[in-house]
């Protein structure tokens, strides 16, 4: 087993959303979501550059990267720090694109826009746990609370939309 434990790999594969932090030329942070974030192997994460000019420019200058992947329902996740390599051609890009199309289910429309993928050599990985668990909360209660919370939001949105559509 490499740096990425079984549970880390499970969470990353399940969530399909990583928040990727890079360093801008002026030293300020850049953070943006990547829905193609997934596990490449026991030591590497990967995401596809579909429309990430800032992240890619930053990584070209400075490969330092941190990725956060959190399950918004269980309020648990992981943070991964590492070095990024931009893969813009060759057999690795071909393998990655075959993976995104055939295994990941990336639509053809999006896959056509990918000219490069970013491979992250993870050097450090650590858990992220909501402080709600410090209060002794059980995971099943946290899950129930956030499922209800998100369902409430969806219900409210649906009501607002149907009211707005009334003549
Ligand atoms: C939920 C979500 C998932 C996204 N997934 C990706 C992705 O996998 N790859 C990508 O290049 N852009 C993705 N984007 C779009 C970028 O995050 C967005 O274009 C962002 O402004 C890029 O900023 P950057 O150039 O600083 O990286 C996603 C956006 C959202 C909201």
* pLDDT tens per residue across span 111-158: 999 999 999 999 999 999 999 999 999 999 999 999 999 999 999 999
99, exposed or middle or buried, with CB in 10 Å at 0-12, 13-18, 19+?
middle
pLDDT-based confidence at residue 31 (cuts at 50, 70, 90):
very high
Measured at the alpha carbon of residue 150, what is the angle toward residues 149 and 154, in degrees to the nearest 5?
120
**DSSP 8-state assignment for residue 21:** E
Q: How is domain 6-129 classified at the architecture level of CATH? A: Roll (2.30)
What's the alpha-carbon Rg for the chain, to the nearest Å? 18
Q: Report pLDDT digits (tens) over 51-72.
A: 999 999 999 999 999 999 999 9
- Closest Cα to atom 29 of ligand 1: 33
Which one, of 92, 123, 147, 116, lies nearest residue 36 by Cα?
Answer: 116
Tell me which residue has its CA closest to atom 6 in ligand 1. Answer: 34
Kindly tell me if the per-residue pLDDT of 3 is higher than 80.
yes
Point out the ligand 1 atom lying closest to the alpha carbon of residue 58. 26
Q: Find residue 88's DSSP bridge partners.
A: none
Q: What is the pLDDT of residue 161?
A: 87
Name the maximum alpha-carbon separation found in the chain: 61
Pocket of ligand 1 (CB under 6 A): 17, 30, 32-36, 47-55
- pLDDT score for 165: 84
pTM > 0.75: yes or no: yes
| CA of 53, closest atom in ligand 1 | 25
């Amino acid at each position: 087993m490499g740096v990425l434990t079984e549970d880390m790999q499970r969470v990353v594969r399940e969530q399909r959303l990583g928040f990727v932090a890079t360093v801008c030329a002026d030293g300020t942070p850049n953070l943006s979501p990547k829905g193609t974030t997934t596990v490449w192997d026991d030591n590497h994460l990967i995401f596809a550059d579909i429309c990430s000019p800032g992240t890619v420019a930053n990584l070209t200058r400075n490969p330092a990267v941190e990725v956060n992947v959190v399950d918004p329902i269980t309020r648990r996740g992981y943070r991964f720090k590492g070095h990024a390599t931009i893969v813009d051609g060759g057999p690795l890009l071909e393998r990655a694109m075959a993976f995104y199309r055939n295994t990941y289910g990336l639509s053809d429309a999006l896959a056509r826009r990918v000219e490069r993928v970013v491979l992250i050599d993870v050097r450090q990985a650590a858990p992220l746990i909501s402080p709600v668990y410090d209060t002794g909360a059980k995971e099943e209660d946290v899950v129930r609370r956030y499922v209800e919370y998100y369902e409430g939001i969806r219900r409210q949105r649906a009501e607002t939309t149907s009211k707005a559509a009334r003549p």
